[in-house]
Amino acid sequence: MTTLGDDIEVREGTYGDKVIAVEPGGAEFIPLKERHGRPLNLFWTWTSPNMEFATVFVGFIGVVFFGLSFWETFLAIVLGTALGSVTLGILGTAGPQYGVPQMVLSRLGFGYWGNVLPAGINALVAGIGWFAVNSVSGALALSALTHMPEVLALLIVVGLQLAVAFLGHNLIHVFERYAFPVLVVIFLIASVWTFGKANPGAVHKTIPGAFLIEVGATFGYAVGWNPYASDYTRYLKPETSKPAIALWSFLGVFLSCVLLETVGAAAGTLPAVASNANPTAGWTGIFPTWLGDLTLIAIVIGGIAANALNIYSGAISFTAIGFKLPLAARRAIVALGFGAIGFFVAWSGLSDAGAKYTNFLLIIAYWIAPWLAVMFCDMFLRRRQDPARIEHLLFNRKFTNWAGPVSMAVGVVVSIWLFANQPPRYVGTVPTHNGNFGDLTFEVGFVLTAVIYLAWRLIADRRASAAVAS
């Protein structure tokens, strides 16, 4: 984006590359004079948030909860993570060109007010759901390290996370960069130690459809970052290399998730870890004291790294819904509000965290896959449109595209009704009759939404062309 009109909402204030400063504004266009950074920054921005126990646990559940073998779990990890990482890289390439967050770009496929559906869901999932999940992970680690009450540990972790997210974009990038070497070194040592003790050939009892359920969980974890993609690329200059953006974003998520999820699968083959009521303490318990303590510290830092993004992007998504908030620090204030709510949700999740986390990962995939279908179909249909025309739709409150919210809603509802597999809460029609189908909700939701959206748009465009011709 290089031209601005009166209909473009521009972020106010001066921010530039200042680190210890509250980022002004919310979901507006980033002025060209404020652009800075390089694609390589995206590697640690997307690596550090995944260097935490929540990532390890995704592989752990494949072996312990679903009964897959180590190698079956590894294959599911690679497949699901690759799908979610590729889409993240593609989405992030639009950030520098249009200078807006991902949930503003989502208005192209959903219309201005139709976009309330995905933006509202993402605000709740990111600002409260993911925030609670990672806060629990960090709190359990801090509690295991210091033996302080879990609630006190949770309060400390949430406070540190909010401090980073409150200041905003630049501090987040800097925090992720400096956390990166610390997290990578500690987790690599922990990984080598875990693999050395693991038993990949351990006897296992697989539940029906386990492989597809694990693919859904790993995809849900990686794709959970997708609605944030351009939030962290919109400050880059418009001429920034798109292949570089896609590559570093992909590698950041893919490598970190595959490594730590595979470590989780390896840890799950150890009876001492699999049987522990506190999986964090169980895993770190196989290490010597010095390494166990370092790993717990890394888990806390990783949780902060993840939730800095979650609470920041959750607040961005909320402001992208379209509410007019007059305060210059509106994003920062919304972040504090979400953090306060997320604390109480996390508090309630300190018990039975494992089962709740599994269900949460699948739910992430349930809604993001149909949203991605709309996004990619719309990108395909607009591939020849003038970017200058496209950019003026982003803040046009009269712009409608009901094909997006309707197709996404239908895709979500129908796919969950037929294919969701989350016992004992709900089991869809298909897995009820044949458990070997596992959980195909995100796959079916994506395809169904894409078909409806493309058919709707094709019919609507033909009618519009016919009306012009007459």
pLDDT tens-digit map of 112-146 = 999 999 999 888 877 777 777 778 778 888 888 88
Q: CB neighbours (10 Å) of residue 207?
A: 14
The single-letter DSSP state of residue 130 is I
Q: Which amino acid is at 397?
A: R
Does residue 340 or residue 267 have the better pLDDT? Answer: 267
DSSP letter assigned to residue 421: E
Task: State yes or no: pLDDT of 7 exceeds 50.
Answer: yes
Whether residue 395 has pLDDT greater than 80:
yes
User: Measured between alpha carbons, how far is 258 from 96 in angstroms, rounded to an integer?
Assistant: 28
Question: Quick check: 381 pLDDT over 90?
Answer: yes
Q: How far apart are CA 255 and CA 261, in angstroms?
A: 10
The residues, ordered by sequence, that sit 6+ positions from 142 with a Cβ below 8 Å of its Cβ are 148, 153, 156, 157, 296, 300
In order of start, what are the domains of the chain with their CATH numbers?
32-369 (1.10.4160.10)
Q: Is the pLDDT of residue 330 over 60?
A: no
Q: Which residues are bridge partners to 422 per DSSP?
A: 426
For residue 3, what pLDDT is reported? 47
pLDDT at 347 over 60: no
Q: How many CA atoms lie within 13 A of 112 on its CB side?
A: 12
Listed residue (37, 64, 45, 4) closest to 228, CA to CA:
45
How many CB atoms neighbour CB 71 within 10 A? 11
SS3 (DSSP) at 422: strand
Four-residue CA torsion sign, 164, 169, 171, 177: positive
Output the pLDDT for position 27.
78
pTM of the model: 0.89
Q: How confident is the model at residue 1 (pLDDT cuts 50, 70, 90)?
A: very low
Residue identified by tokens 């169980």 is: 282
Distance CA 216, CA 238 (A): 35
Mean pLDDT of the region 293-315: 90
- At 301, the pLDDT band (50, 70, 90 cuts) reads very high
What mean pLDDT is predicted for residues 166-175?
87
| 86 vs 15, residue with greater confidence | 86
Confidence of residue 4 (pLDDT cuts 50, 70, 90): low
Burial 89-123 (b: 16+ CB within 10 A, else e): bbbbbbbbbbbbbbbbbbbbbbbbbbbbbbbebbb
Judged against a pLDDT cut of 90, whether residue 259 lies above it is answered with yes
Q: Please give the pLDDT value at position 208.
A: 83
Question: In angstroms, rounded to a whole number, what is the distance separating the alpha carbons of residues 385 and 132?
Answer: 40
The pLDDT, as a whole number, for residue 325 is 62
User: Mind giving me the DSSP string for 290-302?
Assistant: HHHHHHHHHHHHH
pLDDT of amino acid 324:
66
The pLDDT value recorded for residue 424 is: 73
pLDDT of residue 470: 63
- Phi, psi (rounded to 5 degrees) for 294: -60, -40
Give the mean pLDDT of 367-394: 92
pLDDT bin (cut points 50, 70, 90) of residue 357 is low
Q: How far is residue 450 from each of residues 83, 142, 414, 415, 444, measured CA to CA in Å?
A: 16, 44, 13, 13, 10
pLDDT score of 28 more than 50:
yes
Mean pLDDT of the region 25-29: 79
What is the predicted pLDDT for the residue at 356?
Answer: 58
Taking each helix axis as running N to C, give the angle between helix 70-92 and helix 53-64, from 0 to 180 degrees, rounded to the nearest 10. 140
In whole angstroms, give the CA distance from residue 37 to residue 72.
40
How confident is residue 343, by pLDDT bands cut at 50, 70 and 90?
A: low
What is the rounded CA–CA span in Å between residue 19 and residue 17?
Answer: 6
Q: Mean pLDDT, to the nearest integer, of 249-256?
A: 97
Q: What is the mean pLDDT of residues 98-116?
A: 95
d(CA 48, CA 253): 9
Evaluate whether 135 touches 346 at the Cβ level (below 8 Å): yes
Which band of pLDDT confidence, cut at 50, 70 and 90, is reported for residue 247? very high
Contacts (Cβ under 8 Å, ≥6 apart) of 415: 366, 370, 440, 441, 442, 444, 445, 448
Give, for 426, the enclosing helix (H) or strand (E). Answer: strand 426-427
Handedness of CA 181, 53, 61, 367 (dihedral sign): negative
SS3 string of 330-348?
A: HHHHHHHHHHHHHHHHHHH
Quote the mean pLDDT of the chain.
87
Report CA-CA distances (Å) from 385 to 9, 223, 259: 21, 27, 40
355 pLDDT higher than 80: no
What is the model's pLDDT at position 345? Answer: 61
Cα gap 116→254, rounded to integer Å: 30
The phi and psi torsions of 400 (rounded to 5 degrees) equal: -125, 150
Say how far apart CA 65 and CA 57 lie, in whole Å: 11
Arithmetic mean of pLDDT, 246-258: 97
The pLDDT > 90 percentage for the chain reads: 51
Can you tell me the mean pLDDT for 200-204?
Answer: 81
